[in-house]
């Protein structure tokens, strides 16, 4: 302990139970485990020294960004150390000419856009938690967001990383000007949920701010109509940058909050559409989409008249999850992907699964991506209700996978969907993933017990691959 303290300083190590308590869970509040030690290092060097020391004692390490994850990816493990990046929040470099930025992993997503917006650039992936979540966490979960419909998830924007390996070695893959030679280790690392190592620096592509943006709000009398219009917009080839649906209960929660943006409270569903590009493109796309909305029985369409109004609509959309705290003490945010042609059926199916169990479901989702977020408001102190919530979560995942969808659009697997991995992957698939993981971390002490369901026999079947053999493309 004294050694760790010497590395991170007095303020960087928390061991009393009060200060450790808030780290016992992330956004998946029913999975909790109080960490014995919380480390808050300030640099790659400190992370490296900490991991080397912990590695020599075979102590498990759970990395944590801002704790906004929704699948328990940052839930501590018994006898392990929690390592947070909240004190690594510097913007190291913004290169407007070559359109990239190099930042420390703890930097909050929105602060990156703030740091480069004066240069006419922005960082495209915009999770709803962007005002709080860290870039490092985004990398770990390959996070998405409303505008990832057009711009792609985090992996399409990360071009370099500095990674501290489980044994403390620093793997420098940040060379943004060079096309990666050999295996794309950066691509492999994105979405690895803290099990390959800890990213301490992230180099990301920056996107030019579009010349024009148009934001439309379609008001519908039914969730079905809203879903169908989304399918039609995509089928029609119109280029929207975001297609978001909010249902009636969600609107009620948001409109009662500080983020109230004037969403119509009597609508059964609204579709928030954004188009961007040159003024001409923007206009054409908007007109095309308006025609489709009209075909699908839209009751009313509003166009954001100012940047301020646009910002308000988006702040409300992104505050929706938090606003649901008004309904019940806890919230379970599911994250599943369905084929967009089956949007209507799958929204219905997930709703039925919840209502059949007496659960309160609120829908707010990235319709364009077919990425559903059935949110269940519940109270974790009611153990039976909690049981039904977990059951409903499992069932929704099963139904979506059967319909040709996937387990997660952007939140990752973490602890939440561990068991369901077997719905989607064969034992061979999972074993291959274990092998890849061991190539990065032979000790398997990085964020153990997440993402990959553990089968006893698997642990011995494959010989660990030494880290050295995994290659050092960038160093």
Partner 1 sequence: MQTTPTQSAPCTDAQLVDYAASLDCVHCGLCLRTCPTYELTGRESASPRGRIHMMRSVAEGELKPDAAFIDELDLCLLCRHCESACPSGVNFAAMLEHTRARLLDSSERSWLVRRALGLGLGRVLPSPRWIAFLAGALRFLQRLGLVQLASRLPGKVGQAAAACPPVPPARERRALPRHTPALGQRRGSVSVLEGCIMPPLLGRVNRATVAVLAAAGREVHCPRGASCCGSLHAHNGDLQGARELARRLIDKHSGLLGDDGELLPIVTNSAGCSSHMKHYGALLADDADWAERAAVFGKQVFDFSEYLVRFAFDDLRPALGPLEVAQPICWDDPCHLCHGQGIRDEPRALLDALSIERVELKESESCCGSAGLYSVLRPLDSRAILAPRLAALKATGARTLVSANPGCQLQWSGGLRQTGSEVEVLHIAELLERALAHGRESGE
If binding is defined by CB under 8 A, does position 84 make contact with partner 1?
yes
The number of angstroms, rounded, from the C-alpha of 252 to the middle of its chain's C-alpha atoms is 25
Distance in Å, CB of 187 to partner 1, minimum: 28
Distance in Å, CB of 12 to partner 1, minimum: 9
Distance in Å, CB of 127 to partner 1, minimum: 11
Nearer to partner 1, 60 or 106 (CB): 106
Per the CB < 8 A criterion, the answer to whether 301 and 293 are in contact is yes
Q: Given candidates 94, 131, 436, 439, which one binds partner 1 under the rule CB under 8 A?
A: 131
Distance in Å, CB of 46 to partner 1, minimum: 13
Q: What is the CA radius of gyration of the chain?
A: 22
Distance in Å, CB of 249 to partner 1, minimum: 14
If binding is defined by CB under 8 A, does position 470 make contact with partner 1?
no
Structure tokens at 125: 């992936």
Task: Round to whole Å and give the CA distance between 243 and 233.
Answer: 9
Task: Round to whole Å and give the CA distance between 78 and 383.
Answer: 22
Distance in Å, CB of 169 to partner 1, minimum: 25
Nearer to partner 1, 321 or 440 (CB): 321
Per the CB < 8 A criterion, the answer to whether 151 and 125 are in contact is yes
Q: Kindly state the number of chain residues that form the binding site for partner 1, as judged by CB under 8 A.
A: 55
If binding is defined by CB under 8 A, does position 438 make contact with partner 1?
no
Nearer to partner 1, 364 or 397 (CB): 364
Q: Given candidates 97, 308, 381, 463, which one binds partner 1 under the rule CB under 8 A?
A: 381
Task: Round to whole Å and give the CA distance between 250 and 324.
Answer: 7
If binding is defined by CB under 8 A, does position 74 make contact with partner 1?
no
If binding is defined by CB under 8 A, does position 247 make contact with partner 1?
no
Task: Round to whole Å and give the CA distance between 211 and 280.
Answer: 10
Pairing verdict, β 330-333 and 336-337: unpaired
Helix axes 248-255, 307-318, angle to 10 degrees: 110
If binding is defined by CB under 8 A, does position 466 make contact with partner 1?
no
Binding to partner 1 by CB under 8 A, coded x per residue (else -) over 386-405, reads --------------------
Task: Round to whole Å and give the CA distance between 442 and 50.
Answer: 17
If binding is defined by CB under 8 A, does position 11 make contact with partner 1?
yes
What residues numbered 267-286 form the site for partner 1, per CB under 8 A?
Answer: none
If binding is defined by CB under 8 A, does position 319 make contact with partner 1?
yes
Q: Given candidates 8, 39, 66, 392, which one binds partner 1 under the rule CB under 8 A?
A: 66
Number of alpha carbons in the 13 Å side-chain half-sphere of residue 278: 2
Per the CB < 8 A criterion, the answer to whether 257 and 250 are in contact is no
Task: Round to whole Å and give the CA distance between 287 and 89.
Answer: 42
Q: Which of 110, 157, 156, 161 lies closest to 136 in space, CA to CA?
A: 161
Q: Could you tell me which residues come within 8 angstroms of residue 4 by beta carbon, excluding any fewer than 6 positions away?
A: 13, 37, 39, 50, 53
Contact residues: partner 1, CB under 8 A: 11, 14, 16-27, 29, 38, 40, 66-68, 84, 86-87, 89, 106, 108, 110-111, 129, 131-133, 253-254, 256-259, 319-326, 328-331, 379, 381-382, 384-385
């Amino acid at each position: 302990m004294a050694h760790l303290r010497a590395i991170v300083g007095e303020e960087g190590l928390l061991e009393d139970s009060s200060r450790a308590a808030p780290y016992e869970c992330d956004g998946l509040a029913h999975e909790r485990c109080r960490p014995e030690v919380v480390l808050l290092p300030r640099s790659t060097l400190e992370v490296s020294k900490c991991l080397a020391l912990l590695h020599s004692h075979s102590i498990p390490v759970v990395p944590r960004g801002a704790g906004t994850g929704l699948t328990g990816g940052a839930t501590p493990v018994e006898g392990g150390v929690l390592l947070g990046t909240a004190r690594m929040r510097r913007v190291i470099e913004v290169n407007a000419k070559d359109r990239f930025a190099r930042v420390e992993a703890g930097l909050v997503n929105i602060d990156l856009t703030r740091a480069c917006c004066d240069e006419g650039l922005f960082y495209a992936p915009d999770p709803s938690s962007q005002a709080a979540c860290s870039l490092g966490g985004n990398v770990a979960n390959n996070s998405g967001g409303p505008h990832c419909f057009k711009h792609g998830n985090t992996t399409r924007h990360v071009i370099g990383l500095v990674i501290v390996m489980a044994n403390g070695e620093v793997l420098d893959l940040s060379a943004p000007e060079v096309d990666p030679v050999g295996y794309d280790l950066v691509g492999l690392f994105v979405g690895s949920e803290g099990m390959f190592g800890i990213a301490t620096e992230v180099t990301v592509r920056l996107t030019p701010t579009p010349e024009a943006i148009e934001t439309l709000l379609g008001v519908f009398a039914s969730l079905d109509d809203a879903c169908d219009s989304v399918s039609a917009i995509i089928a029609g080839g119109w280029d929207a940058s975001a297609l978001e649906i909010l249902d009636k209960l969600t609107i009620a929660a948001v409109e009662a909050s500080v983020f109230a943006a004037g969403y119509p409270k009597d609508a059964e569903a609204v579709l928030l559409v954004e188009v961007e590009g040159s003024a001409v493109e923007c206009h054409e796309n908007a007109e095309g989409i308006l025609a489709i909305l009209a075909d699908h029985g839209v009751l009313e369409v509003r166009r954001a008249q100012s940047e301020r109004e646009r910002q308000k609509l988006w702040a409300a959309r992104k505050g929706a999850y938090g606003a649901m705290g008004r309904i019940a003490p806890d919230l379970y945010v599911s994250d599943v992907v369905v084929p967009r042609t089956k949007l209507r059926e799958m929204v219905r199916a997930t709703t039925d699964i919840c209502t059949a169990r007496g659960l309160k479901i609120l829908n707010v989702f990235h319709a364009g991506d077919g990425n559903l977020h059935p949110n269940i408001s519940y109270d974790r102190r009611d153990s039976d209700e909690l049981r039904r919530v977990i059951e409903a979560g499992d069932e929704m995942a099963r139904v979506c996978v059967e319909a040709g969808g996937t387990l997660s659009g952007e939140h990752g697997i973490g602890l939440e969907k561990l068991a369901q991995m077997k719905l989607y992957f064969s034992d061979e698939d999972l074993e291959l993933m274990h092998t890849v993981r061991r190539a990065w971390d032979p000790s398997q002490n990085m964020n153990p017990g997440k993402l990959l369901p553990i089968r006893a026999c698997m642990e011995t079947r494959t010989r660990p691959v030494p880290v050295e053999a995994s290659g050092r493309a960038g160093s």
